[in-house]
Every structure is written in structure tokens, then in C-alpha cells.
Structure 1
Amino acid sequence: MTKPNLLPRSSDMASETSAEFSWPPLESNPEVFTEYLYQLGLPSDWFVGEVFGLDDDSLGFVPRPAVAVIVTFESLKKETDAVAAAKVDFFMKQSPKLDYACGVIACIHSVLNSLDSITLVENSILEKYYRATKTQSPADRATTLENMTEFQEVHTSYASLGQSSVPTAEDDVKHHFVTFVQNALGQLIELDGLKKGPVVVNAASSDILKDTAAVIQARIEAGVYSDSLAVLTLAKVADDIDAAVQALIDSSNGVLEVTSVENKDGAKVSRIKCTATGHEMPPRADIVTAHVNSKRFKKATEWYSYDFAQFEPYIVSHRRKPKCLFCNVTGIVLNKIPSEVEKHMQGRKFVRMKEHVKFFDEAEIDKDD
């Protein structure tokens, strides 16, 4: 008896409207990429992080192990086609219909060339796609992606995140995504769906981050890449709070704290919560450092430690909105921003109404009764 074919066919994945689907570009936002890949089937102990510099000190903050590096760049001139072909586990072409889907293709290249380290979520979108395409040609893999409705639905929901507007096919999208991985031979490989195939860029790579950084620097200096670029990594989530993160927590005067949340698999994982901004982040030194150095954090901590009690009884904490204040004179709700409160108290409405407001102590009221 013939065994049934359990692999999904391209036709099974297609909808009547899939041929008309336009793949909008993804913003190079690590949080968006991470959540996007989680929806596709990346296990929760892996994530997409950001590299904030190409020097050794900056690379030292990047969590290990990193199995892939994604680079989005603006190309200033075409590279030579005379390159060494390479062997990898998975490579797909960027077809005309996927013209703006290079970010998706970079994600696919990153994950599906790292399956010796990553176990995809069973029956997930990405696992179905891999099972359907692992014996296909690079061009056929692109066709299968074009027609995969589940992929399209996830892509549509995440293409609008991390950016103020979603670029359309008519927009001038200047940046392009490529992926760098190490193959079984220890070579650093560039995966670009616009090229004929995988390309060897370093014949003996010992450190994927440092070696990729060296390639990027060389291309910037050669005028191939502009300096308008972003570098992301596919890395494993740290199991514990390391010393660098703990030092940041200890020096935050209680603003940063460790909290525990459940991931989508029901397992408890650590997160760093900023009590000043309400922001939660993974326990990674680079992300926490970037947050601490952000304008939002600096403003929030200034407000967090500000003594709003000096304005009582005219301005008091809002009973139902802990991040807000309430003006007992005008009845207006205010944000906990010192300059906003001071401006309100100097306004004509407050000054005029204050003259007609009288506050009583509860003891005096009880005494009168």
C-alpha cells in the first residue's frame, strides 16, 4: 500500500486571493522580528537581538550563542558576481512577487540553516513550510512561500508594527536584508535571495559575529554599503541573569527589577521590568543598557524621583490612574511630568479658580459636626 503524502502541497497552502497578495516590507525592529518568528514557529528560547556597534567592545555585549546575523543595508554599488559558491542546508530565491519580502527571506534563511541548534514548534507554519520545501529548488521554495496563506496572514499583521506607516509596492524601499551563517565546513556564508546562490565570504570563520562585522566594515569602506544599516542576530535566550545585567539592576536605585512571566509554552522566564517606564525586556545586557541610555528612560526616571507632594493639596495623585495626577482646583487630569504640572499651575484658569478654593482638614470637619 502506498504511504500517504503528509507534506502540505503548495496548492493546499494557497487561497483564491494569494496570487494577488503584496508582501509589504518589515521594519528592522528586533522585537517585531522576534514576535513574528514566534508566530511562525521559532521556540521561545530563541530571539532576535540587535547589535549596537561593530567594534569588539560592542560585540562583547551580544548574547551567545548567536547562530545567524541579519543585516539590512542600503547598497551604493553592485558587488562583483565572481564569488565562490557555497553549500548550506537551505537557500531560496527572492522572486519578483517577493520583491519586498527580503526581511522574511532573511528570517527563513537564519532559522532553517540553524536546525542543528533550533527545534521548530511542531506543526507550526515554519515547520510545515520546511517539510514542504526541503527537497525543492530555491526558485520553487519562493513559489511555495508566495502561495502560503498562513504565512501571508502572519506577515500582514507584523508588517505594520515598529514603523509609523506600512510601505507599499509604490514606495521607494532602499534597504535590503541578507543573512550570514556558518555552514558545516566552518565557512561564513552570505545568503541573499537576489544572488545566484550562497556565497562564501570567509573560508575559515571562528566567530560569526566578529567575522560578519569585519565583512560589513570592509564593504562600508569599499563603498558597497552605506553606513545606514542595522545588524540583528538570532541568538539563544540566556537562562539566568548574568553579572552585567545584575550590575545594571543594582545601579538603578530600584527602578529596574527582575520579574517572572510565563512564555507561550507555559515555562517561567525572567524579564527585567522598568518601574519608571513600565517597559519589560529580556535579561540581556545590550537591551537593558540601550533602555537605560534612552531619552525615554532618562525623562521617566527624572519624573519617577520627582517630589510631586510639594504641590498638595492642589495637585494630588489620581486614585484610579497611578501614572497621573489630579488637580483639585480645576478638576483636570495631568501627566506626572514636572514641566506640565508647573505650566498648569501658572495658567490663568488655575490661578483664577485657586482664589475661590478652600481646603479643610478632616479633623476640623469632624469638630464642626
Structure 2
Amino acid sequence: MVRWLPLESNPAVMNKFMSGLGVPASWTIHDVYGLDDDMLAMVPQPVCAVILLYPFSDKQEDFKKKQEEEQETAGGDIPENVYFMKQFVGNACGTVALIHAVANNRDRIELSDGALKEFLDKTESMNPEDKGHALEGDDGISKAHEESAQEGQTEAPDREAQVNEHFVAFVHKDGKLYEFDGRRKFPISHGDASADSVLADAAKVCRQYMDRDPDESRFAVVALACSE
């Protein structure tokens, strides 16, 4: 398996990464310092995506497996107009989450020419597996990822090290809130939502993650918001 250096849940690192890929400066990552209404009100609006970093645990994995089975039984599939990719590159979950966040908001985020626009244009009609394999061989995105991963506040772990945290993205699409995780078979629907309620709706799901592991502190939440 191809393995990259893990990306830190750090707005400065993520913003430099996205800027280098052609994401306009008006759309940036911001820390979400808490999930109550007062803390959410501090996040710039509009928000188009929320990204959660959570620690792996048996509780989380068992729940997610059951959740996926239930959605599959109910006819789980990949909705039309949704960009979803599988993750085959080790430690690339941060980049995959950012790609999901941007790719599903291209009606709002106008990408400049660069590695990300080129990748999305090339892979748009591919199935999720082929999208994931395309990332394995994409030099532009992998180079930008590696450069950003080495700029975090903490020393980057060895690329072969076992990383016990994982990024997922939450995005509103066609009236629903979807959770995007490249380790899953399809995006997970969290029910009705609107473009204006993405932050509040995603915060509810993030709280559920935290409630499943109440003794765990290694959670981090950031939002992709328009800062103009």
C-alpha cells in the first residue's frame, strides 16, 4: 500500500495545502472550538463542509458497521450529483476528507487551474474505486500533501507508523447531510438538511461520535467556510 505522511488537523496546514491546490483564498478552514450554540456562532458563515478527526475504537467501528449495514438494507447507494471516492492510500484520510468537502461544493467553490481541479475533472465520471486508485498515482496532490504534512505543529510521524485517528467530512447535498468516509462503501445519509444548517447538523453527528467514547479526548472539528 502507498502510504503518505499523516495530515494534522490544523487550519494553517490545511489552508496552505488547499491554497496550493487551487482553492480560492475566500474559502478557508476554521477551528470549531465547541459544539454548543455559542461556540458554533463563532465560526464564519457560510459553512459548506465540516471535517471531524476522531480516534479509532471498537465502539466506533462496531457502530459504523451496523450503520452501514442498515443503510445498505434500506437501499444504500451513491446519490446522483455526489462525488465519492474510496481511500486506498495509507494516512491520506485528511486529504480525502478535504477532497470530498471541495468536490461536493464546486457550485460554490471556483477552483483555479491546478492539481485539484485537474484531478476532479479527470475523475468526475469514475466509480469510487477508480477515483481512489487515481489518487495513488497523482503526483500533484501527493506532493502538496507531503509538503503540508511536514509543516504541522507536531513532528510528523513516520509514514509507516500506525495512526489511530481518522478524518471524515460532512457536506450538504440535495437536501441531505452526508458523511463522507473513504473507508465506507458509500456516503452515509444523516437525514434532511439545508445549505444554511450544515454546521449545526454536522455538530449533532460529531456529538454522537463523542458520546460513544466519552472518556476519549482526541477529537477535533474544523469547518470549511467563506471568510470574505
Query: Would the TM-score normalized by the shorter structure come out above 0.5?
Result: yes
Q: How far off its partner does 1:225 sit?
A: 9.2
Report the Cα distance in structure 1 between the residues aligned to 2:147 and 2:115, rounded to whole angstroms. Answer: 15
Residue of structure 2 in register with 1:24 after alignment: 5
Residue of structure 1 in register with 2:206 after alignment: 216
- What's the C-alpha RMSD, in Å, of the aligned pairs? 1.8
Report the Cα distance in structure 2 between the residues aligned to 1:210 and 1:225, rounded to whole angstroms. Answer: 23
Query: 1:44-96: CA deviations, max 9, x gaps?
Result: 1111111000000000010000000000011322121324335252100011x
Residue 192, structure 1, aligned to residue 181, structure 2: yes
Residue of structure 1 in register with 2:28 after alignment: 47
Report the Cα distance in structure 2 between the residues aligned to 1:187 and 1:168, rounded to whole angstroms. Answer: 38
Q: How far off its partner does 1:212 sit?
A: 1.0
Q: 1:75 aligns with which of 52, 56, 72?
A: 56
Report the Cα distance in structure 2 between the residues aligned to 1:224 and 1:126, rounded to whole angstroms. Answer: 37
Residue of structure 1 in register with 2:87 after alignment: 94
Report the Cα distance in structure 2 between the residues aligned to 1:61 and 1:99, rounded to whole angstroms. Answer: 34
Residue of structure 2 in register with 1:354 after alignment: none
Q: 1:149 aligns with which of 139, 153, 173?
A: 139
Q: Which has the higher contact order (CA 8 A, sep 6+)?
A: 2
Residue 111, structure 1, aligned to residue 102, structure 2: yes
Q: How far off its partner does 1:37 sit?
A: 0.3
Residue 172, structure 1, aligned to residue 162, structure 2: yes
Contact 1:83 1:200 in 2 (8 A): no
Report the Cα distance in structure 1 between the residues aligned to 2:215 and 2:105, rounded to whole angstroms. Answer: 26
> Any idea what SS the aligned residue of 1:82 has?
helix
Report the Cα distance in structure 2 between the residues aligned to 1:49 and 1:55, rounded to whole angstroms. Answer: 16
Contact 1:40 1:126 in 2 (8 A): yes
Q: How far off its partner does 1:204 sit?
A: 3.8
Report the Cα distance in structure 2 between the residues aligned to 1:64 and 1:92, rounded to whole angstroms. Answer: 27
Report the Cα distance in structure 2 between the residues aligned to 1:155 and 1:161, rounded to whole angstroms. Answer: 10
Q: What code does the residue aligned with 1:167 have?
A: P
Residue of structure 1 in register with 2:191 after alignment: 202
Flag the 1:224–1:40 CA change in 2: closer, same or farther, 3 A.
farther
Bigger shift: 72-81 or 130-139? 72-81
For structure 2, the residue ranges without an aligned partner over 5 or more in a row are none
Q: How far off its partner does 1:168 sit?
A: 2.0
Report the Cα distance in structure 1 between the residues aligned to 2:30 and 2:213, rounded to whole angstroms. Answer: 26
Flag the 1:144–1:220 CA change in 2: closer, same or farther, 3 A.
same
Normalised by the length of structure 2, the TM-score is 0.88
Q: 2:220 aligns with which of 230, 234, 245?
A: 230
Q: What code does the residue aligned with 2:183 have?
A: L
Report the Cα distance in structure 1 between the residues aligned to 2:173 and 2:141, rounded to whole angstroms. Answer: 26
> Any idea what SS the aligned residue of 1:195 has?
coil
Normalised by the length of structure 1, the TM-score is 0.56
Q: What code does the residue aligned with 2:20 have?
A: Q
Flag the 1:225–1:49 CA change in 2: closer, same or farther, 3 A.
farther
Query: 1:201-228: CA deviations, max 9, x gaps?
Result: 1234561111111111123223399332
Report the Cα distance in structure 1 between the residues aligned to 2:197 and 2:226, rounded to whole angstroms. Answer: 16
Residue 183, structure 1, aligned to residue 164, structure 2: no
Residue of structure 2 in register with 1:34 after alignment: 15
Report the Cα distance in structure 2 between the residues aligned to 1:135 and 1:212, rounded to whole angstroms. Answer: 27
Query: 1:90-117: CA deviations, max 9, x gaps?
Result: 100011xx12100000010000000111
